[in-house]
Amino acid sequence: MRSLHDCPAPAKLNLFLHVTGRRADGYHLLQSVFQLIDRADRLHFDLRDDDQIRRTNDVAGVPEEQDLVVRALRLLQAEFARRHGRLPPGISVRVDKVLPMGGGLGGGSSDAATALMAANALWQAGLSREELMALGLPLGADIPFFLFGETAFAEGVGEALQAVPGPDCWYVVIEPGVAVPTPAIFSAPDLTRDSKPVKIADFSSHTDSCSTVGFGKNDLQDVAMRLFPPVAEAVEWLSSHGDARMTGSGACVFCAFSSEDAADQVLAQVPGKWTAWKAKSLKTHPLMKSLLQNQGVVE
Ligand SMILES: C[C@](O)(CO)[C@H](O)COP(=O)(O)OP(=O)(O)OC[C@H]1O[C@@H](n2ccc(N)nc2=O)[C@H](O)[C@@H]1O
Ligand SMILES: Nc1ncnc2c1ncn2[C@@H]1O[C@H](COP(=O)(O)OP(=O)(O)OP(=O)(O)O)[C@@H](O)[C@H]1O
């Protein structure tokens, strides 16, 4: 196998996100439920005749050398070399972006996770899911979740993951048109950093219907709304249709619905100045069966 084309890198929503403390290194301790949804970037991988890792298309705002996909592939290539005493062939990768950057949808992390799964298969590198998660974590706090591949209750800095049944919902997501830099939110003096820890069971008792998906809150939301007024405007608009909240460190804002029709009705009313779309919750990562579990890969 020399190619893997059209590999999805799905977005996530943080159904709630509590900041419960801060580590000595400045990273924040979180509790969150991560939900995969069926809106995705698409990545295409081709083995090369040399040993270079190259991105073949331009991605606005992300130079090739900084792309999390390129950096993840180089990390795995070095790990392969450490284990096998030789470099595996290089990879050309094309990244078709659909997910907005700085959107709180985890796009960059998901791209990197998809790249790790694809290269692990193309190179037959044989790393376990846990080994890929450890390799990816230093590149982005959300990468382990995408490799975990199912709805998860997350603790630590987002790397301590437990599977949890999520609600089966349709989501309307509004892109407020600003990119929110994650560090700006976490470094704000007025961020709430002392939310009381919750238990998985507290969340699980709220997952039977989409109207009660509003367990907890997003502690990053007030800061993001203050620093980025378009986020506040989107929250305010969507709140008149349900329990609207921000995902991750923003900027995107979402609301859950129990049917596609209900989502469509709200989507049709979203003011034209915003990009908005609907997405369905995913129980598992679309590459889970084929790549993550090494059960043979469809080319
Ligand atoms: C908040 C979330 O969106 C939840 O999904 C993510 O944990 C953020 O993940 P991300 O955008 O991939 O962020 P990273 O690139 O890992 O971190 C960016 C910066 O955010 C801050 N950061 C991030 C995660 C975390 N648990 N505590 C932090 O304080 C740190 O200053 C870090 O340097
Ligand atoms: N392949 C990539 N796709 C998107 N962003 C990338 C990529 N590689 C590096 N980046 C950098 O990562 C930053 C964050 O992008 P990303 O889409 O992951 O944000 P996000 O959705 O806010 O993530 P999170 O929910 O993890 O905070 C971008 O502004 C960009 O500089």
Complex prediction ipTM:
0.94
102 shares a domain with 205 = no
Distance CA 148, CA 161 (A): 8
Q: 86 C-alpha vs ligand 1 centroid, how far in Å? A: 34
Statement to judge: residues 86 and 210 lie in one domain = no
Distance 172 CA to ligand 1 centre (A): 24
Q: Is 136 in the pocket of ligand 1 (CB under 6 A)?
A: no
Is 178 found in the same domain as 144?
Answer: no
Pocket lining: 101 vs ligand 1, CB cutoff 6 Å: no
Query: Does residue 290 lie in a domain region?
Result: no
Ligand 2 close to Cβ of residue 124 (< 6 A): no
Asked whether residue 237 is domain-assigned, the answer is yes
- Residues at the binding site are 100-110
Residues 147, 278 share a domain: no
Considering the domain boundaries, does residue 231 fall inside one?
Answer: yes
Classify residue 244: in a domain, yes or no: yes
118 and 188 together in one domain: no
Q: Which ligand is nearest to the CA of 65?
A: 2
14 within some domain: yes
Give me ligand 2 centre to Cα 75, in Å: 18
Whether residues 17 and 142 fall in one domain: yes
Question: What per-residue confidence (pLDDT) applies to 112?
Answer: 98
Amino acid at 63: P
pLDDT value at residue 257:
95
Task: Output the CA torsion sign for 94, 97, 101, 103.
Answer: negative
Residue 186 lies in a domain: yes
CB 122 within 8 A of CB 91: yes
Query: Which atom of ligand 1 lies closest to the CA of 104?
Result: 3
Distance between CA 262 and CA 124 in Å, rounded?
A: 44
**157 pocket-lining for ligand 1 (C-beta < 6 Å):** yes
Our mutation pick for probing the ligand 1 site, out of 182, 186, 223, counting the most ligand atoms within 8 A of Cβ, is: 182
> Is any ligand 1 atom within 6 A of the Cβ of residue 71?
no
Q: What is the pLDDT along the chain (299 residues), one digit of tens a residue?
A: 899 999 999 999 999 999 999 999 999 999 999 999 999 999 999 999 999 999 999 999 999 999 999 999 999 999 999 999 999 999 999 999 999 999 999 999 999 999 999 999 999 999 999 999 999 999 999 999 999 999 999 999 988 999 999 889 999 999 999 999 999 999 999 999 999 999 998 888 777 678 656 789 999 999 999 999 999 999 999 999 999 999 999 999 999 999 999 999 999 999 999 999 999 999 999 998 777 555 444 33
Sign of CA pseudo-dihedral 287, 292, 294, 299: positive
Annotated binding site for ATP: 100-110
Last residue of a domain, one of 123, 149, 164: 164
The ligand 1 atom at the shortest distance from the C-alpha of residue 220 is 1
Per-residue pLDDT, 298: 38
Three-class DSSP labels, the chain: CCEEEEEEEEEEEEEEEEEEEECCCCCEEEEEEEEEEEEEEEEEEEECCCCCEEECCCCCCCCHHHCHHHHHHHHHHHHHHHHHCCCCCCEEEEEECCCCCCCCCCHHHHHHHHHHHHHHHHCCCCCCHHHHHHHHHHHCCCHHHHHHCECEEEECCCCEEEECCCCCCEEEEEECCCCCCHHHHHCCCCCCCCCCCCCHHHHHCCCCCHHHCCCCCECCHHHHHHHCHHHHHHHHHHHCCCCCEECCCCCCEEEEECCHHHHHHHHCCCCCCCEEEEEEEECECCCHHHHHCCCCCCC
Best mutation site among 41, 62, 223 for ligand 2, i.e. most ligand atoms within 8 A of its Cβ?
62
- For ligand 1, what atom is nearest to the CA of residue 182? 20
Tell me, what's the pLDDT at 296? 42
Long-range contacts of 211-217 (CB under 8 A, 24+ apart): 211/242, 211/243, 211/256, 211/258, 212/167, 213/15, 213/167, 213/169, 213/243, 213/256, 214/243, 214/245, 214/256, 215/15, 215/16, 215/33, 216/15, 216/16, 216/17, 216/18, 217/16, 217/17, 217/18, 217/245
Look up the CATH number of the domain holding residue 200. 3.30.70.890
Please indicate, yes or no, whether residues 142 and 181 belong to a single structural domain of this protein. no
24 and 76 in one domain?
yes
Domain end position, chosen among 105, 138, 164: 164
How many structural domains does the chain have? 2
pTM here is 0.95
Q: Which of 132, 164, 196 is the last residue of a domain?
A: 164
Asked whether residue 25 falls in the same domain as residue 100, the answer is yes
The residues that are catalytic are 12, 142
57 domain-assigned: yes
Note whether 113 and 185 are same-domain residues. no
Residue 160 lies in a domain: yes
The alpha carbon of 105 and the centre of ligand 1 are apart by a number of angstroms equal to 12
Give the per-residue pLDDT at 252.
98
Range of the domain at 51: 3-164
Look at the chain and count its residues. Answer: 299
Q: Is the alpha carbon torsion for 295, 54, 112, 140 positive or negative? A: positive
| 10 in contact with ligand 1, CB cutoff 6 A | no
**Do 121 and 26 lie in a common domain?**
yes
Question: Which ligand has the shortest distance to the CA of 112?
Answer: 2
CATH of the domain at 15: 3.30.230.10
On whether both 190 and 157 belong to a single domain, the answer is no
How far, in Å, CA of 74 to CA of 82, rounded?
12
Q: Is the peptide bond before 251 cis (omega within 30 degrees of 0)?
A: yes
Ligand nearest to the CA of 73: 2
